Structure 1
């Protein structure tokens, strides 16, 4: 399993629920930094350079547009993150349980990465792409046309104009990003945890947060190009993955694929720690309740 207080396997429903809770908490608490990162990756208006410091971007938006502007598109990301992380933890836990060494309960580093990649692909198709498309379109629209009133309104407009394909604009880029990001994030976290487990290092909140933060650093550095392509594909007007790649090269050259890295690091270090710490805590709360309910139902049967 990805986490938990003991060595028992995490039931699928517990993985799904705990992952959803953790994803929602992580998305809401770190959203202003996600907002700043997305603003930087979108095409800037001529004569209006965007600062690289994420906290400066957040401050400027807050001063000019207010607190609500920093959470534009947040609802779409929170809903998507609840579904995304529920699915990611569910599939990762089940894959890990299936391929783990029966004696140690651990996976090789390569299998950890492969399990994360599989979970990322499933999450992208089922939840991430539509929610990311709406979130990115809202952030882009807020600085240009301002025609979207809310996430639901944006969904209706995009659906009316382009159908389901409009909501899945950027699927290839998003799936590449999710597959690689989940592989590195979940894989790195579990490699660290297996290493600590082999050396009898106690899993505390501080250790969980530190492992999550390290996994966030590794994930960001290795997957930033996919994130940039995904953001360009899912702007308010929308574009294909190939066109997104071309636009980045035209605007900034190869270095453009790592645009927003500093801002994303600010979020992923913070969010990685929150995500895994929240998941660990949620499992500890939900699993006993689930086990008690299952036991009661079994006894009545």
Structure 2
């Protein structure tokens, strides 16, 4: 399984948050490039497929700060999202486990991930993704947002809380499916390796996370494109986003940015799970020390 069942929930939450923050920051330029490609381009202007070319062009034309526009929102969202995802995945996984063996079938692994993804979308992902996407879109058009807090306040003032949850349906579909495939695939690979006594080290964790990233991207890309369109600076409904994608690019448009997202998810999947496993090893002794100190209760 993904982790030892004896690992406390608070350790899962903290380690997941640390891993999410590290992964979000290191992989952000590739996320930025992918989001730029998925947003509506100017008519007649070709969109490069190479993420490094997009990053280079933005750096040359707009500077290094433009590449990290919206990064703060993504990192905050990643800390919350992955903390929640690891916490709830581990808790849900235990309830889905076979009572006799304590293990999960591949289908139950996917169902546990799907449930954790829905919870993460409601509690953290949708509003932070909305702010990140709006900031990236605004930076190439009107440039009216001064930063994440200003964008949040402006959207709240203009549209209320529903404005921050624009694209909720697309985001939740993406999160439910992405978490199911990412966490499920990683867990399935790890179970397979443990049965064959394959050592779980940094290289194996990174490889498993990368494979999980590839599977996740190919299976969930349409939801990601719909989410991005819904969460542009002005925002649209999910139905309007679907219609605009079909009008602009046809069915193939639902896989817009796949190459760029693959570049990010292979990299980020490896970082996420490697960071999580490392964070658990660091945090667990600290937690155990506090828990077993006489007269001190762990939170």
- CA offset digits 1:206-230 (Å, max 9, x no partner): 0000000000000000000000000
Deviations, residues 164-207 of structure 1 (Å, cap 9, x unaligned): 00000000000000000000000000000000011111100000
Q: Which residue of 1 aligns with 2:148?
A: 151
Find 2:10's aligned residue among 10, 13, 22. Answer: 13
Shift of 1:293: 0.9
For this pair of structures, how many residues does the alignment match? 298
1:272 deviation in Å?
0.1
Give the alignment of 1:226-245 within 5 angstroms.
226-245=223-242
2:185 is aligned, of 170, 178, 188, to: 188
Q: CA RMSD in A?
A: 1.4
Structure 2 spans left out of the alignment, 5+ residues = none
CA distance in 2, matches of 1:300, 1:79: 28
Secondary structure in structure 1 of the residue aligned to 2:293 = helix
Looking at structure 2, the residues matched to 202 and 88 of structure 1 have their Cα atoms a distance apart, in angstroms, of 25
Residues 72-118 of structure 1: per-residue CA shift (max 9 Å, x gap): 00000000000000000000011112232456542100000000000
The equivalent of 1:2 in structure 2 is: 2
* Counterpart for residue 271 of structure 2: 274
Question: Structure 1 stretches of 5 or more lacking a match?
Answer: none
TM-score, normalization by structure 1: 0.96
For 2:281, which of 281, 284, 287 is the aligned residue?
284
The answer to whether the aligner puts 1:260 opposite 2:257 as a matched pair is yes
The equivalent residue for 1:142 is 139
Q: Determine helix, strand or coil for the equivalent of 1:211.
A: helix
Is 2:87 aligned against 1:99? no
CA distance in 2, matches of 1:222, 1:47: 30
Deviation at 1:124, TM superposition (A): 0.2
Q: 1:54-93 to 2 correspondence within 5 Å?
A: 54-93=51-90
Question: Matches of 1:263 and 1:297 in 2, distance apart?
Answer: 52
Distance change in 2, residues 1:300/1:275 (3 Å) = closer
Question: Could you tell me whether the CA contact under 8 Å between 1:9 and 1:97 is conserved in 2?
Answer: no
> Is it true that 1:294 corresponds to 2:271 in the alignment?
no
**Aligned match of 1:131 in 105, 112, 128?**
128
The normalised TM-score by structure 2 is 0.97
From the superposition, tell whether residues 34 and 299 of structure 1 become closer, same or farther in structure 2 (CA, over 3 Å): closer
Task: Write the distance in 2 (CA, Å) between the matches of 1:251 and 1:213.
Answer: 31
Question: What is the deviation of 1:10?
Answer: 1.6
Runs (4+) of structure 1 exceeding 4 A deviation are 297-301
Q: Deviations over 1:139-159 (max 9, x none)?
A: 000000000000000001000
What's the secondary structure of 1:296's corresponding residue?
Answer: coil
Q: Residues 298 and 207 (structure 1 numbering): CA distance in 2 closer, same or farther, change over 3 Å?
A: farther
